[in-house]
């Protein structure tokens, strides 16, 4: 069923944009940042405020969401996160959980607990018919935008100097340091970029699943699953796993609504059993 496939892909790509930052930072600094979803939520609310409080165009809110959350991410990385790299995973988990709780309450305080609604600009409403499939313009827009982002990301990682340094650092930090790469600076940049992408993802996602303060908790598991399945050593891994999950989730709910909810979890656990390093991740010495 073509429509379902499209919906699934749109959903999957969105998940990828949301999660890729987490995956890279995890692979790079081996840092478990459960609060990643908070940045996505920030992006979503930025859109809500811009579009509905100030009537700015949805299209402008997207880059804004990216930039603002990126800056926010960079700031938090320099001030807070940087103090936890040498701490145990437990500490990192607790710390980021703490951040989640704070962000949830803060958003509740400023924006209220109820769901926020983002109305799409008319140019993105409506649907497109071909080969019997009907695709919402907005989903199409999401698919195109996310694909472009992915390609861009891939280019940045493979073609640019920053990219090669980043990959070097992910492969082996000590060696990278030896080569005189300023890993912590690379990481700050990556973290900012990842947060920014999450923010953008949140903004893009807001029209589908209207965001509310519990967003970071609701989606934490999705991010983790994307990474668990995709591994943290590449970005192609999370990419495919996100697609897989998106399609599996949507198709599951369409064809077997009864057990739709289980599918993603089952995939995750199965993968963790048979390939702890992730379905697409490669075995690393570490």
Partner 1 sequence: MLLRRQFLGVCAGVALSFGLSGLALAEDTVKIGLILPMTGPSASTGREIEAAIKLYMQQNGDKVAGKKIEVITRDDTGQADITKRLAQELVVNEKVAVIAGFGLTPLALAAGPIATQAKVPAVIMAAGTSMIVEQSPFFVRTSFTLPQNTTPMAEWAAKNGIKKVVTLVSDYGPGIDAEKAFKEKFTADGGQVLDSLRAPLRNPEFAPFLQKAKDLKPDALFLFVPSGQGASLMKQVAERQFKEAGIQVIGTGDVLDDEQLNAMGDVVLGMITSMDYSAAHDSPENKKYVAEFEKANPGMRPNFMSVGGYDGIALIYKALEKTGGDTTGTKLIEAMKGMAWTSPRGPISIDPDTRDIVQNVYIRKAEKVNGQIYNVEFATVPNVKDPLHGKK
Partner 2 sequence: MTSLAAGARVATADPGAHLVAKARWRWPEFLLWLFAIALIWLAPSRYLLFNEIAILALLALSIDLVLGFSGIVTLGQGAFYGLGAYTAGLMAKHGIGTFPWSDPLLGLLGAGLVAGFVGFLSSFLVLRGSDLTRLMVTLGVALIVQELGNKLDWITGGADGLQGVMPAPLLGLFDFDIFGRTAYLYSLSVLFVLFLLARALVNSPSGLSLRAIKGNVIRARAIGIPVERRLVVIYTIGAAYAGIAGALLAQTTQFVSLDVLSFEKSADALLIVVFGGVGTLYGALVGSIAFKAMYDVLASATPEYWSFWLGLALVLLVLFARGGIIGLLTALRDRLDRARSARA
Binders of partner 2 among 189-248, rule CB under 8 A? 217, 221, 224-225, 228
* Closest among 54, 63, 19, 25 to 39, alpha carbons compared: 19
Collect contacts of 45-49 with beta carbons under 8 A, ≥24 apart. 45/107, 45/111, 45/116, 45/202, 45/211, 46/199, 46/203, 47/118, 47/202, 47/203, 47/206, 48/111, 48/116, 48/117, 48/118, 48/206, 48/211
Q: How far is the CB of 112 from partner 1 (least distance, A)?
A: 8
| Count of residues interacting with partner 2 (CB under 8 A) | 42
Q: Which residues bind partner 1 (CB under 8 A)?
A: 1, 3-4, 7, 11, 108, 112-115, 117, 119, 125-127, 134, 136, 138, 207-210, 212, 214, 218-219, 249-254, 257, 260-261
- Closest CB to partner 2 among 79 and 129? 79
Work out what residue 101 binds among partner 1, partner 2, none; the CB cut-off runs from 5 to 8 Å by kind. partner 2
108 binds partner 2 (CB under 8 A): yes
Report, in Å, the least distance between residue 224 CB and partner 1.
Answer: 16
Counting contacts by CB under 8 A, is residue 143 touching partner 2?
Answer: no
Nearer to partner 2, 103 or 173 (CB): 103
* Spatial CB neighbours of 121, under 8 Å, sequence gap ≥ 6: 57, 58, 59
Residues 6+ apart with CB under 8 A from 21: 36, 39, 190, 191, 193, 194, 195, 196, 197, 198
User: Under the criterion CB under 8 A, does residue 63 sit at the interface with partner 2?
Assistant: no
Angle at 85 between CA 80 and CA 89, to 5 degrees: 110
- For binding to partner 2 (CB under 8 A), which residues are involved? 26, 32, 80, 83-84, 87, 89-91, 93-95, 97-106, 108-109, 113, 217, 221, 224-225, 228, 258-259, 261-262, 265-266, 268-269, 272-273, 276-277
């Amino acid at each position: 069923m073509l429509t379902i496939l499209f919906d699934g892909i749109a959903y999957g790509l969105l998940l990828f944009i949301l999660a890729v930052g987490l995956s890279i930072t995890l692979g790079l600094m081996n840092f478990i940042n459960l609060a990643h979803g908070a940045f996505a939520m920030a992006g979503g609310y930025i859109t809500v405020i811009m579009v509905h409080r100030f009537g700015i165009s949805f299209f402008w809110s997207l880059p804004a969401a990216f930039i603002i959350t990126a800056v926010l991410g960079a700031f938090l990385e320099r001030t807070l996160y940087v103090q936890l790299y040498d701490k145990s995973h437990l500490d990192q988990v607790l710390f980021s959980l703490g951040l989640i709780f704070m962000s949830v309450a803060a958003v509740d305080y400023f924006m209220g607990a109820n769901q926020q609604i983002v109305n799409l600009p008319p140019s993105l409403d409506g649907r497109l018919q071909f080969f019997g499939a009907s695709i919402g313009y907005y989903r199409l827009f999401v698919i195109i935008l996310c694909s472009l982002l992915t390609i861009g990301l891939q280019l940045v990682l493979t073609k640019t100097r920053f990219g090669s340094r980043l990959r070097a650092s992910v492969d082996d930090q000590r060696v990278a340091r030896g080569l005189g790469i300023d890993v912590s600076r690379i990481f700050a940049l990556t973290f900012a970029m990842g947060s920014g992408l999450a923010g953008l993802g949140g903004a893009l996602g807001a029209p589908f699943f209207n965001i509310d303060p519990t967003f970071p908790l609701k989606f934490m598991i999705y991010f983790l699953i994307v990474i668990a399945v995709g591994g943290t050593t590449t970005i192609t891994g999370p990419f495919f796993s996100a697609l897989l999950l998106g399609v599996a989730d949507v198709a599951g709910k369409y064809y077997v609504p009864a057990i739709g909810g289980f599918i993603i979890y089952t995939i995750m656990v199965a993968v963790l059993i048979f390939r702890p390093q992730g379905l697409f991740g490669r075995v690393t010495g570490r």
